[in-house]
Structure 1
Amino acid sequence: MVSVMRDYRHGQQPQQPAATIRKPPRHSKAAAAPAKVHTSIPWRLYGRALIWGIGISAIAWGGWMGWNWVREPQIMPINTLRITGTSARIPLSVVNAALRPYVAQGFLWMDPEQLRRRLDTLPWVANAEVRRVWPDRLDVTLQPYVPVARWLGSTGQMVDAQGKLFSVPPSQVPDNLPNLEGPADSSAQLIQQLTLFNQILAPLGATVVDLQEDRRGGWRCVLSNGVRLLLGSEDLLPAMKRWVAVAPQIKEYLVSGATMDLRYTNGFAVAMPTAATVSSQ
């Protein structure tokens, strides 16, 4: 306090005590630069990865080569074929032609189900069974269709006893089969009616050679003696039985081309062909 007052008395500004200025410490260039860290390359890890990669590749390549080797048909060939069910309609040469590409695949890789489907497409083959017998045999069993009637004339389609439709070349359709015509899904019903009609006609020694069902459900048939019968959609069997019971009494009317209308409840009508009508006069 005394020194400050002294300075005022002499007309001088009071002197402030000198501030102490601290200079930042000088750091050496070596301290300012980051220290270098030396890391070693993991050659051992890289080597292991390389060995594993080569090993996996070798295994994959070996597996691929082994797979191709096993798939070779000559490793396990089919040396024996046993085929049953061939006939004049299913010749052995046709069956062998269908078997050849499958047999060439070898015992292990031949697909029996695929071969069975191929054989089912052959004409006259109703069902085929294929079985592999260890170690080198192939058994093939064929079941042929047994035709009962032609379907829609001679278009190549026929019907078996169960009413199943099947197709063959038109030139192979037998000539002595009855003809059936009707809606597309009525083959089984027509076969059933054909069987019943033939049973009723047996006392006359006649059979049905042509049977038709129209869209309204009416029935028409032509007998082996050429007589044509017209039936309605109801009471078919009773009407035919009544006619069969009377037919021996009207033998003179049972000529080829005559038409018997059985759609009456108490009788039937007869329409004679022109030639027969004239000769009877």
Structure 2
Amino acid sequence: MAAASRVPGWQFWSGLAFFVMVVAGTFAGIGWLYYTAMDAQEVPLKRLVVQGELQYVTPADVRTALLGEPLGSFFSADVDEIRARVEAMPWVAKASVRKEWPDILKVFVVEQAPLAHWNANQRDDALLNQEGKVFYANKEVLGEGATELPYLAGPEHAVAQAVKHYRELNELLQMNGFAIAQLELSQRFSVELMLQNGIVLRLGREALLERIQRFIDLYPQLQAHKEAPIDSIDLRYDTGVAVRWRDPEEQQQESS
């Protein structure tokens, strides 16, 4: 009887030992798989593919920004952190990042679309994008396109208002053969424009579209009124305008 009672005990302990070994082996295997997956040497990201309609950013620029720090393995690479690093590049507006098995990292880049220079007398690298937001970037990549962008200036807290005035006024002017080269919004929100033909328009704070329309209506008469080119037109009157023509001597100095 004593020998028979010891048999179940031996079977129990041997079964328990086997179970413990299986569990330990399973956890060891899981641990090995985890560390292997997280090891960039074991499951490396070998290919970086940069996509998008690129004009100001090159694939090499993106690679330089990303490869300055370790990316991790296919499994450990954090796509949100990588996206943030790409979006920190000056000419990048948005980016999306995804991984493709077994070793590809794909980055899709949306560049900033410049609308205008912003407060260029304060910062040479300040620009406005098409959404009316300020960003700072090297303008040299624009090439000759930098001279084609208008110059907007105003209080830093009034960016949206300056952009709104530019869009509305420039649309009306372009319909009639003019275009804005510069727009300045004063601290008191008074608007002054310089057109691409060099004429300065002082509009004030109210009825801006009506005053632009008055300029458009009067321009043929003003242009024919005197041989000298128009220097500036003050439209801050309920009726009429004040016109200043360029001095012939100044005109000769500028042409020489």
Partners of 1:238 and 1:128 in 2: how far apart? 42
Cα gap change, 1:200 to 1:57, in 2 (>3 Å): closer
Q: Are 1:263 and 2:232 counterparts?
A: no
Alpha carbons 2:116, 2:149 under 8 Å: kept: yes
Q: 2:228·2:248 contact (CA, 8 Å) conserved in 1?
A: no
State the match for 1:89 in structure 2: 56
Aligned residue for 1:34? none
Native 8 Å contact 2:127 2:134 kept in 1: yes
Tell me which residue corresponds to 1:46: none
Q: Which residue of 1 aligns with 2:13?
A: none
User: Which residue of structure 1 aligns with residue 75 of structure 2?
Assistant: 108
Deviation per residue, 1:228-278 (Å, 9 max, x gap)? 01011111111110121111111147826x111000001111122333799
1:202 and 1:72, CA in 2 relative to 1: closer, same or farther beyond 3 A?
A: closer
Query: Quick check: 2:36–2:43 contact (8 Å CA) kept in 1?
Result: no
Q: Which runs of 5+ in 1 are unaligned?
A: 1-50
Match of 2:134 in 1: 165
Give 1:98 shift: 2.0
- CA distance in structure 2 between the partners assigned to 1:161 and 1:70 by the alignment: 43
Cα distance between partner residues in 2 of 1:254 and 1:90: 46
What is aligned with 1:25? Answer: none
Go from structure 1 to structure 2 and tell me whether the alpha carbon gap of 1:137 and 1:155 turns closer, same or farther (over 3 Å shift): same
Which amino acid in the other structure matches residue 272 of structure 1?
A: W
**Which has the higher mean CA deviation after the structures are superposed, 183-192 or 232-241?**
183-192
Going from structure 1 to structure 2, the CA distance change for 1:276 and 1:221 (only over 3 Å counts) comes to: farther
- Equivalent residue runs for 1:13-24 within 5 Å: none
Confirm whether residue 98 of structure 1 aligns to residue 65 of structure 2: yes
The code of the aligned residue for 2:82 comes to L
Q: How many residues align?
A: 230
1:194 aligns with 2:171: no
Select the structure that is richer in helix.
2
Greater RCO, CA 8 A, separation 6+: 2
Deviations 1:198-254, CA, capped at 9 Å, x for gaps? 222235422110000001111001011111010111111111101211111111478
User: Residues 130 and 139 of structure 1 are in contact (CA less than 8 Å); yes or no, is this contact kept in structure 2?
Assistant: yes
Cα deviation for residue 74 of structure 1 reads 3.0
* Residues 1:142 and 2:109 aligned together: yes
> What letter is aligned with 2:229?
V
Q: 1:91 to 1:277 in 2, by over 3 A?
A: closer
State the SS of the aligned residue for 1:185. Answer: helix
Give 1:181's aligned amino acid: A
> How big is each residue's C-alpha offset from its partner over 1:87-111, in whole Å with a ceiling of 9 and x where there is no partner?
3410121111123256741110100
The question of 1:77 aligning with 2:51 is answered: no
Structural mapping, 1:1-281, within 5 Å: 67-85=34-52, 87-100=54-67, 104-153=71-120, 155-172=124-141, 174-202=146-174, 204-251=176-223, 252=226, 255=229, 258-275=231-248
8 Å Cα contact 1:162-1:188 kept in structure 2 = no
Q: CA separation in 2, counterparts of 1:193 and 1:254?
A: 30
Q: Which runs of 5+ in 2 are unaligned?
A: 1-16
Distance of 2:227 and 2:167 partners within structure 1:
25
- Three-state SS of the structure 2 residue aligned to 1:186 is helix
Please give the alpha-carbon distance, in whole angstroms, between the structure 2 residues aligned to 1:138 and 1:113: 13
Structure 1, 150-159 or 233-242: larger mean CA deviation? 150-159
* Partners of 1:142 and 1:130 in 2: CA distance: 9
Structure 1's 277 and 264: CA in aligned 2 closer, same or farther, altered over 3 A?
farther
Query: What secondary structure does 2:164 align onto?
Result: helix
1:119 maps to a residue whose letter is: V
Q: CA RMSD in A?
A: 3.2
| Contact 1:85 1:142 (C-alpha < 8 Å) held by counterparts | yes
Give the CA deviation at 1:189: 2.3
Change (3 A) 1:264 1:61: same
Instruction: State the alpha-carbon separation in 2 of the partners of residues 81 and 66 from structure 1.
Output: 25
SS at match of 1:201: helix
